[in-house]
């Protein structure tokens, strides 16, 4: 089961402290490259460089961070859980009153056992994140707060992979690698992307495939600015996020809502055993589709998720851990994206090569209809004729499958048979 392989891979990345920049991102990319995708390219963009309306921030790395009482007892420690530190915290080394400390603590009273994920990327600040239950235990008047962090004129790191196909049109996959220890929101996307890329790298493909691993928002903007000067080459695009849990299946369409990516994703989702929730791009967008679907870029990008980001209570907390995701949840996400790819690879418009119905019997194919009613032996022949009646060069495989109440993925061998028999040709 591929989902189990993805799950075990995510475990190896879980404890790495990641942020917009820094060594945690580099370590994550290095593990992906050295262990799974050797041809992955790594890019570094210098701090201070302007990318569209944004500026690459200083690089941020953390050596250690903790709060202790004045007896030396550790209250919270970054090394125990890297969610404990406010993202992009500036250094601090001081004795502090509880009153002042509380101004720099973040907790969730509604989820008292959870450590929240909070950042201050673009505003200078420092702070710690703590479960509300542990926060209520703070009774001393004074504590010792220590953060050994460093801001340097470093770089922002991202990586990409291009798998050439027979056609230059691309199918594009993007995922983000900038969050610390959260399994569904952060690592399920890179895990799925890694194993889809490995699968596609080992076969001949119709389309060219592009995979991008980048920090969310500014990483996507940087990638667009540096690499997507011809966005029209992207035939279909998928944002991989929150694909690991066992709860709902969620779908976020593209900005236009009617692209080939929307078409194939809806078709795949409609043919799953489980129902799915379709969200609104205008109301519910929140990940890198905001950049990739923006005017001037306008990729045909959709997201097929399990529990959508922001829609599950574990989101952006320590409760989004390895227990929240599962091999089964990841496996279904892998299967749905794999089937989207296979359908897109085989999704041509076909034209019949003969007039009227073909004489299937001489081709060794059963074609028996008695009294206007088909028996079990004739169902496959009836399906062939139903397909052929729509092979006029204007319907693609997804269109025909929907008309017949079938799943395009299941019909791919049938279209291959008809083409091999010389009964249909791909339409130009």
pLDDT value for 364: 63
Domain boundary among 296, 320, 346: 346
Domain boundary among 314, 346, 378: 346
Domain boundary among 115, 134, 152: 152
Residues 165 and 239 in one domain: yes
What is the C-alpha R_g of the chain?
26
d(CA 140, CA 235) in angstroms, rounded, equals: 60
Q: What is the mean pLDDT of residues 357-385?
A: 62
Collapsed DSSP state (helix, strand, coil) of residue 59: strand
Q: What is the mean pLDDT of residues 150-158?
A: 98
Residues 251 and 183 in one domain: yes
Residues 67 and 115 in one domain: yes
d(CA 258, CA 254) in angstroms, rounded, equals: 8
d(CA 226, CA 221) in angstroms, rounded, equals: 9
- Of the pLDDT bands very low, low, confident and very high (cuts 50, 70, 90), residue 249 is very high
Residues 262 and 213 in one domain: yes
Q: Domain residues for 209?
A: 2-55+155-346
Collapsed DSSP state (helix, strand, coil) of residue 151: strand
Residues 289 and 170 in one domain: yes
- Of the pLDDT bands very low, low, confident and very high (cuts 50, 70, 90), residue 318 is very high
- Of the pLDDT bands very low, low, confident and very high (cuts 50, 70, 90), residue 280 is very high
Going 82 to 83 to 86 to 92, the CA torsion angle's sign is: negative
Residue 420 half-sphere exposure toward CB, CA atoms < 13 A: 7
Q: What is the mean pLDDT of residues 179-199?
A: 98
Residues 106 and 237 in one domain: no
Task: CATH number of the domain at 99, please.
Answer: 3.50.30.90
Residues 159 and 211 in one domain: yes
pLDDT value for 378: 55
Collapsed DSSP state (helix, strand, coil) of residue 327: helix
Residues 64 and 137 in one domain: yes
Q: What is the mean pLDDT of residues 66-90?
A: 97
For the cut 60, the answer to whether the pLDDT of residue 386 exceeds it is: yes
Q: What is the mean pLDDT of residues 362-390?
A: 64
Task: CATH number of the domain at 261, please.
Answer: 3.40.630.10
Q: Which residue has the higher pLDDT, 376 or 234?
A: 234
Percent above pLDDT 70 for the chain: 96
For the cut 50, the answer to whether the pLDDT of residue 370 exceeds it is: no
**Helix H or strand E segment including 400:** helix 397-404
Q: What is the mean pLDDT of residues 168-172?
A: 97
Task: CATH number of the domain at 402, please.
Answer: 1.10.10
Q: What is the mean pLDDT of residues 390-416?
A: 96
Q: What is the mean pLDDT of residues 320-348?
A: 98
pLDDT value for 360: 74
Count Cβ atoms within 10 A of the Cβ of residue 366 and give its class: 0-12 exposed, 13-18 middle, 19 or more buried. middle
Least confident of 87-91, 187-191, 254-258, 367-371: 367-371
Domain count, the chain: 3
Block residue for tokens 């060794």: 364
pLDDT value for 365: 59
Residues 160 and 185 in one domain: yes
For the cut 90, the answer to whether the pLDDT of residue 348 exceeds it is: yes
Mean pLDDT, the chain, integer: 94
Q: What is the mean pLDDT of residues 377-399?
A: 88
Q: What share of the chain is helix, strand, coil (3-state, %, to 5)?
A: 35, 25, 40
Taking CA 295 as the corner, what is the angle to CA 250 and CA 265, rounded to the nearest 5 degrees? 25
Residues 146 and 293 in one domain: no
For the cut 50, the answer to whether the pLDDT of residue 374 exceeds it is: no
pLDDT value for 381: 79
Residue 232 half-sphere exposure toward CB, CA atoms < 13 A: 0
pLDDT value for 371: 36
pLDDT value for 298: 95
Q: What is the mean pLDDT of residues 30-42?
A: 97
pTM for this entry: 0.94
Residues 198 and 320 in one domain: yes
pLDDT value for 104: 98
d(CA 172, CA 25) in angstroms, rounded, equals: 21
- Of the pLDDT bands very low, low, confident and very high (cuts 50, 70, 90), residue 336 is very high
Residues 141 and 250 in one domain: no
The string of pLDDT tens digits covering residues 105-147 is 999 999 999 999 999 999 999 999 999 999 999 999 999 999 9
Collapsed DSSP state (helix, strand, coil) of residue 388: helix
pLDDT value for 428: 73
Q: How many residues does the chain have?
A: 428
Least confident of 1-15, 206-220, 380-394: 380-394
């Amino acid at each position: 089961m591929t989902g189990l392989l993805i799950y075990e891979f995510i475990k190896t990345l879980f404890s790495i402290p990641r942020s917009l920049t820094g060594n945690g991102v580099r370590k994550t990319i290095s593990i992906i490259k050295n262990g799974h995708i050797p041809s992955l390219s790594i890019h570094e963009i210098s701090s201070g460089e302007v990318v569209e309306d944004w500026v690459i921030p200083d690089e941020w790395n953390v050596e250690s961070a903790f709060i202790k009482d004045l007896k030396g007892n550790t209250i919270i420690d970054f090394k125990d859980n890297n969610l404990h530190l406010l993202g992009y915290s500036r250094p601090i080394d001081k004795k502090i009153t509880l009153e002042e400390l509380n101004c720099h603590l973040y907790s969730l009273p509604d989820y008292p056992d959870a450590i929240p994920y909070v950042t201050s990327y673009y505003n200078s600040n420092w702070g710690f994140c703590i479960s509300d239950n542990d926060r209520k235990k703070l009774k001393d008047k004074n504590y010792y707060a220590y953060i050994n962090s460093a801001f340097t004129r470093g770089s922002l790191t991202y990586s990409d992979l291009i798998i050439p196909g027979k056609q230059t049109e691309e199918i594009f996959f993007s995922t983000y690698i900038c969050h610390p220890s959260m399994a569904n929101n952060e690592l399920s996307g890179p895990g799925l992307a890694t194993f889809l890329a490995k699968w596609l790298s080992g076969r001949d493909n119709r389309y060219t495939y592009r995979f991008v691993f980048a920090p969310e928002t500014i990483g996507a903007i940087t990638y667009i600015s540096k690499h997507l000067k011809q966005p029209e080459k992207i035939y279909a695009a998928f944002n991989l996020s929150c694909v690991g849990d066992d709860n709902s299946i969620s779908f976020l369409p593209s900005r236009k809502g009617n692209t080939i990516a929307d078409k194939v994703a809806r078709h795949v989702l409609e043919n799953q055993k489980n129902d799915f929730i379709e969200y609104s791009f205008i109301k519910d967008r929140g990940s890198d589709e905001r950049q990739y679907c923006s005017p001037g870029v306008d990729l045909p990008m959709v997201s097929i998720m399990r529990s959508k980001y922001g829609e599950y209570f574990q989101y952006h907390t320590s409760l989004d851990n390895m227990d929240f995701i599962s091999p089964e949840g990841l496996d279904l996400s892998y299967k749905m994206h794999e089937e989207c790819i296979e359908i897109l690879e085989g999704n041509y418009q076909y034209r019949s090569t003969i007039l009227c119905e073909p004489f299937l019997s001489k081709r060794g194919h059963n074609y028996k209809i008695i009294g206007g009613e088909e028996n079990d032996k004739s169902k496959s022949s009836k399906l062939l004729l139903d397909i052929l009646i729509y092979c006029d060069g204007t319907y693609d495989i997804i269109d025909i499958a929907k008309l017949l109440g079938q799943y395009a993925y299941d019909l791919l061998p049938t279209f291959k048979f008809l083409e091999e028999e010389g009964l249909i040709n791909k339409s130009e």
